Amino acid sequence: MKNNFSTSKVLENNKNLQAVGKSIIFHPLNIVFLTSGKSRGSNFESIVKYIYKNKLPISMKFLIVTRPDAPIIQRAENNNVKWILLSDKNNFEQDLLGLLSQYNVHLVVLAGFMRKLSPNFLNKFKGKIINIHPALLPKYGGKGMYGMRVHQAVFENNEKFSGVTVHFVNEEYDAGEIIFQEKIPIDHLKSAEEIAHEVLKIEHEIYPKVIEKLAYQFFSDLID
């Protein structure tokens, strides 16, 4: 497991959060979700439900979709999260940057977003975009390594462990700084499908908690 959070610092400063309660209420961590294609949105929904359940000081501004028939839209509507369609590939990044500025977004959460963002876009939002990958990076990452392709490769190589990695996004696929990893044993599993099922459960557990920790780190930095 890899954990780059200053956990002790966060816990120490959490004791002081009540003192800045009004600031948190009026200045929550503003996040948006970014997806593409026909994303199902299970990770998105797990994050939304976790934020609601734990009443976190996080404002979910909107979900970006690139297709009007993406199944994730129904999950957004069921959970009262605004969704915005950006279907013009040529102006996608320009339009998105305008929205990020308009809504004062602090963090972009990728949830089934399969496109590669340009260096220009990443430079303007450096260190503020995160993604989750269904393997223990740097293994089984890179271009073309997503979904069942990852789990099939893990299974065919007889790996004893797999897991998930949450990382910042940079110019290369799955190569950004690792924020957190969770490892699980898979040597008892009989297929790539079984691995996918177990890893997805960990994704649903870990991704929301990482966002929560990033939120409290954000407020800890404000206190400092």
Rounded to 5°, angle at Cα 99 from 94 and 101: 95
Rounded to 5°, angle at Cα 136 from 174 and 116: 15
Express each pLDDT in 47-100 by its tens digit.
999 999 999 999 999 999 999 999 999 999 999 999 999 999 999 999 999 999
Structure pTM? 0.88
Is 133 catalytic? The answer is: yes
Looking at the predicted structure, is the pLDDT value of residue 211 above 50? yes
Task: Return the higher-pLDDT residue of 7 and 107.
Answer: 107
Tell me what the mean pLDDT of segment 125-139 comes to. 96
Q: What is the pLDDT of residue 9?
A: 39
Contacts of 9 (CB under 8 A, 6+ apart): 217, 220
Q: What is the pLDDT of residue 170?
A: 96
Domain ranges, ordered by start, for the chain = 7-223
Topology adopted by domain 7-223:
Rossmann fold (3.40.50)
Q: What are phi and psi of 121, to 5 degrees?
A: -65, -45
Looking at the predicted structure, is the pLDDT value of residue 212 above 90? yes
**Active-site choice (106, 133, 167, 204):** 133
Q: Burial, 134: exposed, middle or buried (Cβ in 10 Å; 0-12, 13-18, 19+)?
A: buried
